[in-house]
């Protein structure tokens, strides 16, 4: 979701990470689904429309409150989860936000375009150069049926079963998270988050680095490698779960998303991958919009407890307020977050108010997943934002004491990158297909933001982009590629 | 094929467009969105025209070479018409967007004018068109191979790069012309755009007779550029002044020429 509030890392984010690490592929999807939620996490109490953003949990609760406000607010600040002190501040800011949202529309879209593009570029570059990620080395246990069958019908059946199993695992884990959150097992959730992010930052990046070295035939000793991985991982843990420079944090989140997307691309067989993408979009749609959806329940529970759902892994374009996980005292957390902010104070205040630090705020993976799939609710339409953006430079956000950023769940990053990565790995049209999917996803992102501004309710961000991406993948690969091939052969230009 | 070929062709094809983007589009979020949306519209038009061509090919005899070539030519012409139709649709969308922007702005005027939108939209169309024509070629240029080993032209990559560059420019200028024609209800401008597009695509049917396709295309490009420049409010005085660097050196000169339209370049 796009929130106006400053981004604030919450335990939810960590939770999401932990979940991912725990279950490899499966948690990742959940995570990613939840990640979006995180973004919403920042939703202020009144954002009921978190779903849009990705955060299911937040969205539910906050949606209603925030949606109106937030949407009109700057999309910039996707609060990571500061909803707490919002009430009063929110009320006052609502009016401001309404105006500000319009102003920050186009800028926020671009703030999302850049990291999404970067993540996709990293994934596509890796796929094209490192053959490890396109080599078939078995499948995950969540997709036990092989696709090397004799008949097409058997293959289709196997892939449907694989997708069904994967989605069921995701749903089960989401429900488990909701249950954990409901029964206040925050420590479990926290531990899970930490383990997940440890796994991602150390183990997966170690594998990635090893494969890159193999590809380029670089000789490396274990001592240097250990030093590099250690530094990378520790700085990553600090940046993501505690405090760090904004750009570094953003870079780590992008790298993590790319790593997870690469794992998905490697271990999911073709048809299964496309089916899973399609089903995840539908699931996201259902989970966000249905009253009995797990993400919605998560958000409502969080709202009842007046806790903030912090985004476990949410990409924020503004300074992120990191929640100190060890901090149990909201006051202390506020102070901590204040000190960690090096951006707008206003945002800090908002974040501070949240006392969700105590528990991870029920950032269950579902929530995150939802968030993930959804971009924060954009209050403004691209046009309105563009309008504001286009105003003379003296209306730049930098002069705004409450500069807000945009937040997007990492799950969205992951699934977008999986789509584009798979397109570049397996398409016969190769670069044309990759480019087409890339443009389709960006336009889906734009449209989602636009719809958010129009409908002013939580909408899932994953479905539109993934649908466009899938349609363009299959259309470009099967229809456009033969046409362009023939044109290039004769050197005709259209 | 070497890295030199790769970099040379990519910069020939995309260098000017990249410069245009960097200096006029990247800084403004709204323009970036319009650029990407323009690329998307071009993509959709290509998709639909490929669908039509694909159906035609599947319904015909694959062994009949002249028929296949004829179907391809038909596909090209149909695609050109569809691209222009989508340009018109995009114009309609941008018109609505401007109304929305005006309504949402504080001072009642849109942050971006229709001329700027026309320029960016044309650039979006051109970039996507160029990318689709050139990217696979560039990827192949990085790999092993010999150009024209079977007797085809050895200038394939170079001429493709030049053709791509001219197409990108042409799309940009066509965008400006087309939108201007729609705005001022001058239908002949729109017809001229469609006609020129058909001519340029038709000229490529003469490839590998590159003299017949590249040179007229470039001439057409310069003519369209001049027309678009004039329509955007430019005049020869301004052009001479900018060439002499007067705008930078003697700002007071500008004040004496109030008729100059700074929005020429969008």
Residue B9 to residue B6: CA distance in whole angstroms: 5
Mention every residue, 6+ apart, whose C-beta is less than 8 A from residue B150.
Answer: none
**Cβ <8 Å between B101 and A383:** yes
Is the pLDDT score of A94 beyond 90?
no
With bands split at pLDDT 50, 70 and 90, how would you rate the model's confidence at B22? Answer: very high
Q: Does A464 touch chain B (CB under 8 A)?
A: no
Highest mean pLDDT among A341-345, A417-421, B145-149: A417-421
Does the structure show a pLDDT above 70 at A98?
Answer: no
Residue B105 has pLDDT above 60, yes or no: yes
Q: Could you tell me if A121 lies within 8 Å of chain B, comparing CB atoms?
A: no
**Nearest Cβ partner of B139 from A382, A430, A442?**
A430
B199, B183, B194, B193: which is closest to B232 by C-alpha?
A: B183
Residue A357 scores a pLDDT above 80: no
As a whole number, the mean pLDDT across chain A is 70
Give the three-class secondary structure for A460.
coil
pLDDT at A387: 58
pLDDT at residue A461, as a whole number = 80
Report chain A residues whose CB lies below 8 A from the CB of B57. 482
Q: Is the pLDDT of residue A13 over 90?
A: no
- Contact list in A for residue B101 (CB cut-off 8 A) is 383-384, 386-387, 390
Quick one: pLDDT at residue A316? 74
Nearest-by-CA chain A residue for B80: A494
pLDDT at residue B143 in the model: 85
**B58 exposure class (CB count in 10 Å sphere: 0-12, 13-18, 19+):** exposed
- Contact assessment for residue B57 and residue B155, using Cβ atoms and an 8 Å cutoff: no
3-class state of residue A48 by DSSP: strand
Q: Do A480 and B37 touch (CB under 8 A)?
A: no
Judged by CB atoms within 8 Å, which residues 374-413 of A form the interface with B? 380-391
| Beta-carbon separation of B50 and A102 below 8 A | no
Separation between Cα atoms, residue B128 and residue B42, nearest integer Å? 7
Banded model confidence at residue B247, pLDDT cuts 50, 70, 90: low
CB nearest to B40's CB, from A389, A390, A443: A443
Please check whether residue A487 touches B, CB under 8 A: yes
Among the partner-chain residues A107, A436, A483, the one whose CB lies closest to the CB of B53 is A483
Q: What is the pLDDT of residue B31?
A: 94
Q: Which two tokens stand for residue B74?
A: 């038909």
Mean pLDDT of B3-27: 93
Dihedral-angle region of residue A277 (phi above 0 means left; psi in -120 to 50 means alpha; beta otherwise): alpha
- B132 contacts A432? CB cut-off 8 A: yes
CA distance B197 to A163: 46
Mutate to test the interface with A, among B6, B27, B29, B138 (most CBs of A within 10 A): B29
**pLDDT tens string A116-137:** 999 999 999 999 999 999 988 8
CB contact under 8 A, A390 and B83: no
CB contact under 8 A, A102 and B46: no
Q: Name the minimum distance, in Å, from the CA of A423 to any CA of chain B.
A: 14
**Three-class SS of residue A392?**
coil
Dump pLDDT digits (tens) for B49-72.
Answer: 999 999 999 998 888 889 999 999
Residue A437, Ramachandran bin (φ over 0: left; ψ between -120 and 50: alpha; else beta):
alpha
The residue with greater pLDDT, A375 or B15, is B15
Q: pLDDT value at position B64?
A: 85
How do residues B179-209 score in pLDDT, each as one tens digit? 999 999 999 999 999 999 999 999 999 877 8
Q: Which residue of B has its CA nearest to A72?
A: B104
> Computed from CA positions of residues A56, A60, A61, A65, in that sequence, does the dihedral angle turn out positive or negative?
positive
* A350 near B CB under 8 A: no
Angstrom distance (rounded) from CA A184 to CA A194: 17
Interface contact flag, A383 B205, Cβ < 8 Å: no
Cβ–Cβ below 8 Å for B33 and A110: yes
Instruction: Enter the tokens of residue A266.
Output: 């490697």
- Per-residue model confidence as pLDDT tens digits over A444-470: 999 888 887 777 666 788 999 999 999
Q: Which residue has the tokens 């996980």?
A: A325
In this prediction, residue A55 carries a pLDDT of: 36
Give the whole-angstrom CA distance, residue A238 versus residue B185. Answer: 61
Distance of residue A486 Cα from the nearest chain B Cα, in angstroms: 8
Taking contacts as CB-CB distances below 8 angstroms, the residues of chain B near A390 are 28, 30, 101, 105, 110-112
Q: What is the mean pLDDT of residues B5-16?
A: 94
Could you tell me the two tokens for B154? 């050895």
Largest CA distance in chain A: 71
Whole-number pLDDT of residue A365: 57
- Three-state SS for A292? coil
Confidence check: pLDDT of B83 > 80: yes
Q: Positive or negative, the Cα torsion across A90, A95, A96, A97?
A: positive
| Poorest-pLDDT segment among A462-471, B41-50, B233-242 | B233-242
Selecting from A107, A430, A436 the residue whose C-beta is nearest the C-beta of B43 gives A436
| A contact residues 351-370, partner B, Cβ 8 Å cutoff | none
Separation of alpha carbons B153 and A377, rounded Å: 54
Angle, helices B29-58 vs A481-490, to 10°: value is 90
A366: confidence class by pLDDT, cuts 50, 70, 90: low
Range with lowest mean pLDDT among A16-30, A307-321, A423-437, B229-243: A16-30
φ/ψ bin of B245: left (φ > 0), alpha (ψ from -120 to 50), beta (otherwise): left
Residue in B30, B51, B160 closest to A390 by CB: B30
Q: Is a pLDDT exceeding 50 seen at residue B101?
A: yes
Active site residues of A: 284, 412
* Chain A from 466 to 485: CB within 8 A of any B CB: 472, 475-476, 478-480, 482-484
The single-letter DSSP state of residue A46 is B
Report CB contact under 8 Å: B132, A472: no
Instruction: Please tell me which residue, A370 or A179, carries the higher pLDDT value.
Output: A179
Taking an 8 Å cut-off on Cβ atoms, the answer to whether A440 and B43 are in contact is yes
| Interchain CB distance below 8 Å, B101 and A490 | no
Interatomic CA distance for residues A279 and A274, integer angstroms: 9
Q: What is the pLDDT of residue A32?
A: 36
Contact B29 A480 (CB under 8 A): no
Decide if A388 and B104 are in contact by the 8 Å CB cutoff: yes
Please tell me the pTM assigned to this model.
0.76
Task: Kindly determine whether residue B110 and residue A390, on different chains, have CB atoms separated by under 8 Å.
Answer: yes
Tell me what the mean pLDDT of segment B100-110 comes to.
Answer: 81
How many Cβ atoms from other residues are within 10 Å of residue A230's Cβ? Answer: 11
Q: Which of B100, B129, B135 sits opposite A431 (nearest CB)?
A: B135
Distance in angstroms (rounded) separating the CA atoms of residues A350 and B33: 30
132-171 in A: which are within 8 Å (CB) of B? none
The C-alpha of B170 sits at a distance from chain A's nearest C-alpha, in angstroms, of 12
Provide the number of CB pairs (under 8 Å) joining chain A to chain B: 156
Q: Beta strand A320-322 with A7-9: parallel, antiparallel or unpaired?
A: parallel
Share of chain A above pLDDT 90, in %: 33
Residue A125 contacts B, CB cutoff 8 Å = no
Most trustworthy range by pLDDT among A91-105, A181-195, B160-174: B160-174
User: Following DSSP, what letter does each residue of B52-97 receive, concatenated?
Assistant: HHHHHHHTS-TT-HHHHHHHHHHHHHHHHHHHHHHHHHHHHHHHHH
Put simply, the answer to whether B30 touches A389 (Cβ < 8 Å) is: yes
Residues of B in contact with A385 (CB under 8 A): 29
Chain A closest-CA separation from residue B59 CA (Å): 14
Q: Which residue of B has its CA nearest to A477?
A: B47
């Amino acid at each position: 979701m796009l929130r106006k509030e400053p981004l604030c890392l919450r335990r939810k984010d960590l939770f999401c990470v932990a979940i991912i690490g725990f279950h490899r592929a499966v948690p990742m999807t959940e995570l990613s689904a939840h990640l979006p939620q995180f973004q919403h996490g920042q939703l202020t109490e009144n954002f009921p429309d978190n779903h849009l953003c990705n955060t299911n949990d937040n969205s539910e609760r906050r949606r209603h409150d925030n949606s109106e406000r937030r949407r009109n607010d700057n999309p910039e600040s996707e609060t990571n989860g500061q909803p707490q002190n919002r009430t009063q501040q929110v009320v006052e800011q609502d009016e401001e936000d309404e105006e500000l949202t319009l102003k920050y529309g186009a800028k926020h879209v671009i703030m999302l375009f850049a990291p999404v593009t970067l993540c996709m570029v990293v994934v596509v570059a890796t796929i094209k150069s490192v053959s490890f990620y396109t080599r078939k080395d078995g499948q995950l246990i969540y997709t036990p049926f092989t696709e090397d069958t004799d008949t097409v019908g058997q293959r289709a059946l196997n892939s449907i079963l694989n997708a069904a199993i994967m989605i069921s695992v995701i749903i089960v884990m989401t429900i488990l998270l909701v249950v954990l959150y409901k029964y206040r097992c925050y420590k479990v959730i926290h531990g899970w988050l930490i383990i997940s992010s440890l796994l991602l930052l150390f183990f997966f990046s170690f594998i990635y680095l090893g494969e890159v070295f193999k590809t380029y035939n670089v000789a490396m000793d274990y001592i240097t490698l250990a030093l590099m991985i250690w530094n990378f991982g520790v700085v990553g843990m600090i940046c993501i779960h505690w405090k760090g420079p904004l750009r570094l944090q953003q870079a780590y989140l992008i790298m993590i998303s790319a790593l997870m997307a690469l794992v998905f691309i490697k271990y999911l067989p073709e048809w299964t991958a496309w089916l899973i993408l399609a089903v995840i979009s539908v699931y996201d749609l259902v989970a966000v919009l249905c009253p009995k959806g797990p993400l919605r329940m998560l958000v409502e529970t969080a709202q009842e407890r007046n806790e903030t759902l912090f985004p476990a892994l949410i990409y924020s374009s503004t300074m992120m307020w990191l929640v100190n996980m060890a901090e149990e005292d909201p006051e202390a957390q506020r102070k901590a977050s204040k000190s960690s902010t090096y951006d707008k104070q206003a945002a800090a205040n908002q974040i501070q108010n949240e006392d969700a630090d105590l528990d991870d705020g029920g950032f269950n993976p579902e929530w995150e997943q939802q968030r993930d799939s959804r971009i924060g609710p954009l209050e403004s339409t691209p046009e309105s934002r563009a309008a504001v953006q286009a105003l003379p430079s003296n209306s730049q956000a930098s002069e705004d004491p409450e500069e807000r950023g945009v937040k997007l769940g990492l799950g969205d990053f992951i699934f977008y990158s999986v789509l584009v990565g798979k397109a570049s790995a397996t398409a016969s049209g190769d670069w044309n297909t990759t480019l087409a999917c890339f443009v389709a996803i960006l336009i889906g992102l734009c449209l989602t933001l636009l719809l958010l501004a129009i409908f002013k309710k939580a909408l899932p961000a994953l479905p539109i982009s993934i649908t466009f991406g899938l349609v363009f993948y299959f259309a470009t690969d099967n229809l456009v590629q033969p046409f362009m091939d023939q044109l290039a052969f004769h050197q005709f230009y259209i | 094929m070497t890295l030199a070929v790769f970099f040379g062709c990519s910069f020939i094809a995309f260098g000017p467009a990249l410069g245009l983007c960097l200096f006029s589009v990247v800084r403004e979020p709204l323009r970036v969105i319009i650029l990407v949306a323009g690329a998307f519209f071009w993509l959709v038009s290509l998709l639909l025209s490929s669908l039509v061509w694909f159906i035609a090919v599947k319904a015909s005899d694959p062994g009949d070479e002249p028929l296949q070539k004829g179907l391809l030519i038909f596909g090209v012409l149909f695609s050109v018409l569809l691209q222009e139709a989508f340009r018109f649709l995009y114009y309609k969308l941008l018109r609505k967007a401007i109304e929305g922007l005006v309504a949402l702005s504080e001072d009642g005027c849109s942050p971006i004018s229709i001329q700027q939108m026309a320029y960016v939209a044309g650039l979006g169309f051109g970039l996507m068109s160029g990318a689709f024509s050139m990217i696979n070629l560039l990827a192949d240029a990085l790999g092993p191979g010999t150009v024209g080993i079977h007797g085809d032209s050895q200038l394939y990559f170079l001429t493709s790069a030049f053709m791509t560059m001219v197409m990108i420019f042409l799309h940009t200028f066509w965008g400006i012309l087309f939108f201007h024609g729609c705005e001022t209800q001058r239908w002949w401008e729109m017809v001229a755009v469609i006609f020129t597009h058909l001519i340029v695509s038709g000229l490529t049917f003469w490839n590998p007779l590159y003299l017949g396709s590249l040179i007229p295309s470039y001439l057409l490009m310069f003519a369209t550029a001049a027309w678009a420049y004039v329509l955007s409010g430019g005049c020869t005085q301004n052009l001479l002044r900018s060439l002499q660097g007067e705008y930078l050196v003697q700002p007071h000169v500008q004040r004496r020429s109030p008729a100059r339209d700074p929005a020429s370049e969008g």
